[in-house]
């Protein structure tokens, strides 16, 4: 019996379409297509749109990476011989997803308005004060933006390397 560690192209396309549909629904809700929407008070529309677009991009990344390119190699990169355009699209989707997450975390940490946080566990009670919540999200936002910058640099280098190999 074959060892299947990757999703099939058909499964990737189905999963990608499902993720894209969820993201599209989130975008439409944020834009008020179904009435008032379900964003919490004070949350700008763009935050809901960014969250939805992260899902749409994730779905597209599944379709491109597994449905079109055929999966990943042992090192996690697209297989050898993948067309440069496919590699560029996949790289842009990855940077886009990480950027959407960084934007949302940045708004939670640094955006205007009051934030309400809840926590559990040893250090935090049921209500975590706003300063602690914003600090945690601020640290996370900075780390995700550093990840985005590193991802962008790595992808640019890899695109350059792949384009010279062709």
The half-sphere exposure of 50 on its side-chain side, counting CA atoms within 13 A, is 18
Domain residue spans in the chain?
9-165
Q: Which residue has the tokens 């809901």?
A: 48
Q: pTM, whole model, 2 decimals? A: 0.85
Band the pLDDT of 93: cuts 50, 70, 90: very high
The half-sphere exposure of 62 on its side-chain side, counting CA atoms within 13 A, is 20
Q: Which residue has the tokens 């695109």?
A: 159
| Max mean pLDDT range (1-5, 32-36, 103-107, 118-122) | 103-107
Predicted local confidence at residue 139, as pLDDT:
97
Residue 70 or 27, more confident: 27
Whether pLDDT at 36 is above 80: no
Dist. CA 130–CA 143, nearest whole Å: 20
* Predicted confidence (pLDDT) per residue in 43-86, tens digit: 899 999 999 999 999 999 999 998 888 888 777 788 888 899 99
Query: DSSP readout, 69-128?
Result: S----TTSSPPTT--HHHHHHHHHHHHHHHHHHHHHHHHHHHSSS---EE--SSS--SEE
Predicted local confidence at residue 6, as pLDDT:
72
């Amino acid at each position: 019996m074959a060892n299947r560690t990757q999703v099939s192209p058909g499964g990737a396309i189905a999963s990608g379409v499902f993720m894209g549909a969820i993201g599209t629904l989130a975008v439409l809700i944020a834009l008020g297509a179904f009435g008032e929407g379900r964003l919490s008070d004070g949350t700008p529309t763009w935050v809901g749109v960014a969250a939805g677009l992260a899902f749409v991009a994730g779905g597209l990344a599944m379709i491109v990476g597994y449905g079109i390119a055929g999966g990943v190699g042992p090192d996690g990169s697209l297989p050898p011989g993948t067309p440069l355009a496919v590699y560029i699209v996949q790289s842009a989707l990855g940077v886009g997803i990480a950027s959407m997450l960084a934007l949302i975390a940045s708004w939670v940490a640094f955006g205007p308005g009051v934030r309400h946080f809840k926590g559990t566990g040893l250090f935090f009670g049921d209500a975590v004060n706003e300063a602690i919540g914003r600090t945690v999200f601020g640290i996370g936002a900075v780390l995700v933006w550093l990840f985005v910058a590193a991802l962008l640099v790595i992808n640019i280098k890899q695109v350059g390397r792949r384009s010279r190999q062709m």
